[in-house]
Amino acid sequence: MFRSMLVRSSSPVKQALLRRGFASESVPHRKVVILGAAGGIGQPLSLLMKLNPLISSLSLYDIANTPGVAADVGHINTRSEVCGYMGDDDLGKALEGADLVIIPAGVPRKPGMTRDDLFNINAGIVKNLSIAIAKYCPQALVNMISNPVNSTVPIAAEIFKKAGTYDEKKLFGVTTLDVVRAKTFYAGKANVPVAEVNVPVVGGHAGITILPLFSQASPQANLSDDLIKALTKRTQDGGTEVVEAKAGKGSATLSMAYAGALFADACLKGLNGVPDVVECSFVQSTITELPFFASKVRLGKNGVEEVLDLGPLSDFEKEGLEALKAELKSSIDKGIKFANQ
């Protein structure tokens, strides 16, 4: 995604666009909105989205400090025009005309805090932002980063249903960081170049609900069962690893921003008609008995074009799939209940 953005040229955006196979005048205008743009994830995400040549308008919103972020990012000499919006009165203006809304808003995890502890604060934030999306840009794709994703995606879905705007093809829980981590950890143990690695990650986006399918990893490496179990556990605990390493000073913000930018780029490519764009995401699904589930999704002009089957699972992965269902169902139900209170 980013290689084309970093080409040194007197016209870097044009060079990047040409490298993508587009003439600059043929690239559609796309407005992307980041809700929570001044936060720990929001700021690096704003930077990375400013580097994306598929974006023509970048709208940055938060309850405070957005003008500074917008001014700073806005000086970067790439295609998109940047506008900053702050406070409740500006939310509608930030959202109007959006093609894609990314939501990293909310409080981060702290040491000893589970994703469930985040619920009461972040659920209220997501509920209010979803009401505004339904009012001002009901056709936009929505990328949910705010945790706990297993609950915040169902909250947004319920709010959109109440507003009569819900389209299951346009709501995504961003689980890309689990995929990024699985690829990194797998490449290290398999001794293969990480850029060549692909690992699907299914289930949800917290603890044991995160299920990396290392049996489907490519390129395949002959790793022991014990090593696969250790890699699975590390992927599931990746967020905690960062929280502890930052010693109470923060959570996974930089890697989450990178993962969020990757998934947003995939969504934009899908909107623009690029074929065969497949990423893992937490979406409304019928591939299990649960109403929402993360798996590989084909992206297109309407958002979700196809939710792909899980494919063949190892015995260890089958056990993990059964083990995660109760917790994931509980988180989904909690979100639905909150939205309907």
DSSP 250: -
Is 37 part of any known ligand binding site?
A: yes
Is residue 233 exposed (0-12), middle (13-18) or buried (19+ Cβ within 10 Å)?
Answer: exposed
Is 5 part of any known ligand binding site?
A: no
Is 41 part of any known ligand binding site?
A: yes
Which residue numbers are catalytic? 205
Is 117 part of any known ligand binding site?
A: no
Chain centroid, CA 256 distance in Å = 8
Is 234 part of any known ligand binding site?
A: no
Instruction: Please give the backbone phi and psi of residue 81, each rounded to the nearest 5 degrees, phi first.
Output: -90, 135
Separation CA 339–CA 341 (nearest Å): 6
Is residue 289 exposed (0-12), middle (13-18) or buried (19+ Cβ within 10 Å)?
Answer: exposed
Is 147 part of any known ligand binding site?
A: yes
Is 145 part of any known ligand binding site?
A: yes
Report yes or no: 270 and 299 within 8 Å, Cβ to Cβ.
Answer: yes
Is 76 part of any known ligand binding site?
A: no
Is 128 part of any known ligand binding site?
A: no
Separation CA 250–CA 189 (nearest Å): 27
Separation CA 171–CA 142 (nearest Å): 5
Is 122 part of any known ligand binding site?
A: yes
Is 300 part of any known ligand binding site?
A: no
Is residue 248 exposed (0-12), middle (13-18) or buried (19+ Cβ within 10 Å)?
Answer: exposed
Is 109 part of any known ligand binding site?
A: yes
Helix (H, G, I), strand (E, B) or coil at 22: coil
Is 115 part of any known ligand binding site?
A: yes
- Which residues are annotated as part of the binding site? 36-42, 62, 109, 115, 122, 145-147, 181, 256
- Which residues are annotated as part of the binding site for substrate? 109, 115, 147, 181
- Which residues are annotated as part of the binding site for NAD(+)? 36-42, 62, 122, 145-147, 256
